Amino acid sequence: MARRKKKAFPHKAILGIEALSVDDVRYIIDTARNLRSVFKRRRIKKTPALQGRTVLNLFLEPSTRTRVSFELAEKRLSADIINIAAASSAIVKGESIFDTGRTLLAMSPDLIVIRHKMGGSPHFLHKHLEIPVINAGDGINQHPTQALLDLLSILDRIDTVEGKTITIVGDIKHSRVARSNVLLLKKMGAKVRLCGPPTLLQPEYATLGGEIFYDLKQAVEGAHVVMMLRVQLERMKMGYFPTTNEYRRLYCFTAKHLKLARKNALVMHPGPMNRWVEIEPEVADSENSLILDQVANGISIRMALLYLLLGEKG
Ligand code: CP
């Protein structure tokens, strides 16, 4: 990798968006872009930056994009990797997250990446085990690496989000992606609109900093970016809408809605998508769509975070 003078990164963990300053966010985005451009030029996509470092990927909830991109990012930086999934771990025998963490710590990893259904579990591990931790999604709380890769994907197409209107639509209530994105986009100066059924978007969500809409057409009118969210049925203990058809009728983003947004508006979805429920395939696969850019940028952002937290720190 090209030798650049590395600025100090003042964090030992990435647990949520709040702790990051605007400068930190710019530094992460710049680092991700530098790493991306270096790897684009290389036939062999590997650098020794994290050689001799061990990263433990503790994925205790299902994941495709986040898990695979963390693993690829770690491999590209030459880290040693241990992958642990819920079904094949002692957690199914009832071991607590604390004991699992302490057990794994005894094997001297340098950093833990954790996805867990309980909000706050990455914070708990970081506090009690005193080890660098990256939150790969904790319950309905936050998904900071997703918000950072979303921002990179937007900034690859438009110079700044400052003053731009970004509409986030769907199951806001259960969405860690929405929470991290609102916090990050507001921090970077965007105007954020939130839209969804009233049962999945209570007025108190305005305290996150977004303007509340219940009508999709109004919410997307003049928007520069529309970010659709997955309906998280697995987190719903009761019916939040009468039928899937009813949800689709009111909140599925279609080509007609896209016409109401700005010309060349960007369309996003963190995945996995429920086509026809949250988004029409015609829109998801259109030139406006950043969905596959989001997936690809996941590797760059996660490489950047691993490098900033662990690289060249001795
Ligand atoms: N966006 C996201 O977190 O996807 P996965 O659940 O596949 O990791």
Residue 91: give its domain's CATH number.
Answer: 3.40.50.1370
Least confident range from 78-82, 123-127, 199-203, 266-270: namely: 199-203
Judge if 46 and 75 occupy the same domain. Answer: yes
The Cβ-side half-sphere exposure at 154, using a 13 Å CA radius, reads 28
**Per the domain annotation, does 209 fall within a domain?**
yes
Residue type, 244: T
**Per the domain annotation, does 1 fall within a domain?**
no
Judge if 174 and 281 occupy the same domain. Answer: yes
Does the pLDDT at position 179 exceed 80? yes
Judge if 121 and 101 occupy the same domain. Answer: yes
Judge if 273 and 185 occupy the same domain. Answer: yes
d(CA 32, CA 300): 5
- Dihedral (Cα; 39, 40, 44, 50), 10-degree rounding: 10
Residue type, 57: N
Q: What is the pLDDT of residues 232-268, one digit of tens each?
A: 777 776 778 878 899 999 999 999 999 999 999 999 9
**Per the domain annotation, does 2 fall within a domain?**
no
Judge if 165 and 130 occupy the same domain. Answer: no
Q: How far is CA 174 from CA 160, 170, 212, 238, 264, in A?
A: 28, 9, 16, 13, 29
Does the pLDDT at position 314 exceed 50? no
**Per the domain annotation, does 13 fall within a domain?**
no
> Which among 282, 247, 117 is positioned nearest to 170, based on CA atoms?
247
Q: List the beta bridge partners of residue 247.
A: none
The structure tokens 């696969």 sit at 285
Q: Is 80 exposed, middle or buried (0-12, 13-18, 19+ CB in 10 A)?
A: middle
Judge if 134 and 250 occupy the same domain. Answer: no
d(CA 165, CA 236): 29
Q: What is the pTM (predicted TM-score) of this model?
A: 0.94
Q: Give the per-residue pLDDT at 308.
A: 97
d(CA 157, CA 177): 20
d(CA 311, CA 314): 8
Does the pLDDT at position 55 exceed 70? yes
Judge if 107 and 162 occupy the same domain. Answer: no
- Calculate what percentage of the chain has a pLDDT beyond 70: 97
Residue located nearest, by CA, to atom 6 of ligand 1: 63
Residue 299 Ramachandran class (φ > 0 left, ψ -120 to 50 alpha, else beta) = alpha
Judge if 206 and 304 occupy the same domain. Answer: no
The pLDDT confidence band at residue 312, using thresholds 50, 70 and 90, is low
Judge if 301 and 274 occupy the same domain. Answer: no
Judge if 114 and 209 occupy the same domain. Answer: no
The structure tokens 């979303």 sit at 150
Q: What is the count of structural domains for the chain? A: 2
**Per the domain annotation, does 14 fall within a domain?**
no
Nearest-atom index, ligand 1, CA of 66: 8
**Per the domain annotation, does 6 fall within a domain?**
no
Does the pLDDT at position 5 exceed 90? no
The pLDDT confidence band at residue 3, using thresholds 50, 70 and 90, is low
CB 305 within 8 A of CB 33: no
Tell me the pLDDT of the chain averaged across its residues: 93
Nearest-atom index, ligand 1, CA of 115: 8
Judge if 307 and 259 occupy the same domain. Answer: no
For residue 210, give both structure tokens.
């977004």
**Per the domain annotation, does 130 fall within a domain?**
yes
Question: Measured in angstroms, how far is the CA atom of residue 117 from the centroid of ligand 1?
Answer: 13
Average pLDDT over residues 208-230: 96
Judge if 98 and 35 occupy the same domain. Answer: yes
Question: Measured in angstroms, how far is the CA atom of residue 274 from the centroid of ligand 1?
Answer: 13
Q: Give the per-residue pLDDT at 41.
A: 87
Residue 305's domain comprises 22-143+297-311
CB 122 within 8 A of CB 15: yes
Q: CB-based contacts of 5: which residues, under 8 Å, 6+ apart?
A: none
**Per the domain annotation, does 8 fall within a domain?**
no
Mutation probe of ligand 1 site: the residue of 59, 61, 63 with most atoms within 8 A of C-beta: 63
Residue located nearest, by CA, to atom 4 of ligand 1: 65
Question: Measured in angstroms, how far is the CA atom of residue 299 from the centroid of ligand 1?
Answer: 13
**Helix, strand, coil abundance in the chain, percent, nearest 5:** 45, 15, 40
Average pLDDT over residues 114-126: 96
Least confident range from 50-59, 131-140, 205-214, 286-295: namely: 205-214
